[in-house]
Amino acid sequence: MGLLENIQSPDDLRRLTPTESVEVAAEIREFLVQSVSRTGGHLGPNLGVVELTIGMHRVFSSPKDTFIFDTGHQSYVHKLLTGRQSFGDLRTRDGLSGYPSRSESVHDVVENSHASTALSWADGIAKANVVRGLTDRHVVAVIGDGALTGGMAWEALNNIAAGHDRRLIMIVNDNGRSYAPTIGGMAHHLDTLRTTRGYETFLDWGKRTLRRSGLPGRFAYDALHGLKKGIKDVVAPQGMFEDLGIKYVGPVDGHDIEAVERSLVRARAFGGPVLVHVITEKGRGYSPAEQDVADRFHAVGRIHPETGLPLAPSRFGWTKVFADEIVTIGRARPDVVAITAAMLAPVGLAPFEKEFPGRTFDVGIAEQHAATSAAGMAFAGLHPVVALYATFLNRAFDQVLMDVALHKAGVTFVLDRAGITGDDGASHNGMWDMAMLRIVPGLHLAAPRDEETLRAALRSAMDIDDAPSVVRYPKGPVGDAIPAVDVLDGVDVVRRTDVEQSGSDAPVVLPAPDGSSTSPRRVLLVGIGSMATTALEVCDILAAHGVTATVVSPTWVLPMPPVLTKLAGEHELVVTLEDGLAEGGIGALLGERVLAAGVGTPVLTVGLPTAFLDHASRDQIVTANRLTAPDVARDAIDWLARSRQG
């Protein structure tokens, strides 16, 4: 039996000897590689914080001392040390979350997996401790060097610096990466700190030299003052933090448990805000991750633990379509530039950056800056393409509204992983975008259904130069092509049925409003984006029950095509299907337009509830929220039956 199996709480960890702590670190690495290779998850970040997390739990006393992990994907080690070693169901429904979760443990505080927020949380908790007179506890926030590129982190630092009586320890986990190598001025600053001998080491040497010099007191004082200033300016870039009033400790070898513990004990004793600079290596101890320069091990699917290679190759996905098309567009349009927020490869911009390095800008984890910087580029004659995960656009809504839309800036936002993503939980589902963006004046939004409509939408977006445009698509592989059988004022009709086409031997013909038992009912199905496939399946089920249907798939849903209102008037029921919010989404907007036009056709909106969805697979979320084709068809048939009775 290994030592790790006997650790059910941090108290058990604190009873270990230093040698045993090193043994536990090795066991944790082996556990993570074997476990995460079977389930998928964030492997590299957790391998990099093993010793750091052990040191934190040996020096501080969670949950009395509050631990906050920025982003939270590096909390697997923390889970193991707080009694959660059942990793077989990691990131699956009813299993362990891939992020901190209050429902799992009192040791978890912040569940949000968006970056750069930890220091603000820590500032608020530390202030509350002071107000409540709780002087016997500390707040410990772990933030990566990548997250320090986010503006919110610096807003927090500005406020933390003003609270000299707050027991707050900020651990900068500096591995030089987020999804990709960290960029910007902060990255250069940390680089300098990594490679420069400590300020205090030089100062101690200077003090000893002055004491031996025999200079009179006043001259020695002046010399010491000048020495401090000179050393600080030349060899102590940590002065940036100390000038703010934040004590700096480091750099510290984050893979030396005893060094980590000594630094944290020192920080704990200071009694005010302290920044502990810890140097770590992402993927530490796992050769495939250590040798990987593309950071493929930040998050992995199921892999071979020995080689790190995927168990099954991924199918051609939406992101790859975008990656290919944006390069084609870039070759034809020298004014097109690309912007990413520390996710060059995940959003598919790596090929564009390789071919057009001078036209690609990684702004760090700073979506707000990305949006407003893009507005500036548009004003200066470029057409910026800002590629983000859909969930992260939430952070820049004000900039989309007031900096881009208000100024009629021709900026295109490409939203990867829109809709249901599933296993990463509530904060990663890209389900908010359409409901959020439909209130932005003048904004154009495309929800393509297949590869060809995605490519066409991207090309069309490049021609919109007087308003923001958005192209959104889901996570995962691209489905089969869904060709249009007709086009009505820009809206694709992808199927029409009548009773004869149903293929049913004895179709159930629901009575029409006039009481006729032979007239089939007519339903308009509006499949938005990837939900067009579900709409086609619903159409088949309805046909088998004698219900005729028209299936349309509008690529551009904002501004809403007027023909949809006209089509609604030609049917007895409209059913809209989307993988965003049902309340306030595109279907709800169509319902408002139909009502305002005096069209009496009811609109049944099918989408996600206004709720935070627990981590689960996409199929499980679809089933739980009755978004499957049989569920939607049943609801439509039930409505038609009730309308006859009414």
- Name the residues annotated as catalytic: 282, 367, 395
Q: Please report, for residues 316, 390, 555, the alpha-carbon distance to residue 588 in angstroms, rounded to integers and kept in the order given.
A: 33, 20, 17
DSSP 143-197: EETTGGGSHHHHHHHHHHTT-TT--EEEEEEE-SBSSSB--SHHHHHHHHHHHS-
Q: Please report, for residues 69, 314, 586, the alpha-carbon distance to residue 100 in angstroms, rounded to integers and kept in the order given.
A: 8, 28, 33
Instruction: Tell how many helices (H) and how many strands (E) occur in the chain.
Output: 25, 18
Nearest to 182 by CA among 150, 155, 208, 214: 150
Parallel/antiparallel/unpaired status of strands 444-446 and 383-389: unpaired
Structural Rg of the chain based on CA atoms: 29
Residues whose CB is less than 8 angstroms from the CB of residue 179 and which lie 6 or more positions away in sequence, other chains included: 146, 295, 298, 342, 343, 344, 345, 346
3-state secondary structure of 390: helix
**Does residue 430 contact residue 415 with C-beta atoms inside 8 Å?**
yes
- Tell me the one-letter amino acid at 424: D
Is 283 annotated to bind a ligand? Reply is: no
Parallel/antiparallel/unpaired status of strands 383-389 and 412-416: parallel
Question: What gap in Å lies between CA 137 and CA 427, rounded to an integer?
Answer: 29
- Tell me the one-letter amino acid at 318: W
**Does residue 254 contact residue 279 with C-beta atoms inside 8 Å?**
yes
31: left (phi over 0), alpha (psi -120 to 50) or beta: alpha
Question: What gap in Å lies between CA 335 and CA 359, rounded to an integer?
Answer: 9
Is 225 annotated to bind a ligand? Reply is: no
Is 514 annotated to bind a ligand? Reply is: no
Is 418 annotated to bind a ligand? Reply is: no
Is 146 annotated to bind a ligand? Reply is: yes
> Which tokens go with 253?
């070898």
Is 635 annotated to bind a ligand? Reply is: no
Residues whose CB is less than 8 angstroms from the CB of residue 533 and which lie 6 or more positions away in sequence, other chains included: 449, 479, 482, 527
**Does residue 393 contact residue 413 with C-beta atoms inside 8 Å?**
yes
Is 286 annotated to bind a ligand? Reply is: yes
Parallel/antiparallel/unpaired status of strands 547-553 and 521-527: parallel
Is 389 annotated to bind a ligand? Reply is: no
For 328-331, which contacts have Cβ atoms below 8 Å and span 24 or more sequence positions? 329/458, 329/459, 329/462, 330/355, 330/356, 330/359, 331/355
The annotation places the binding site for thiamine diphosphate at: 73, 113-115, 146-147, 175, 286, 367
The annotation places the binding site at: 73, 113-115, 145-147, 175, 286, 367
The annotation places the binding site for Mg(2+) at: 145, 175
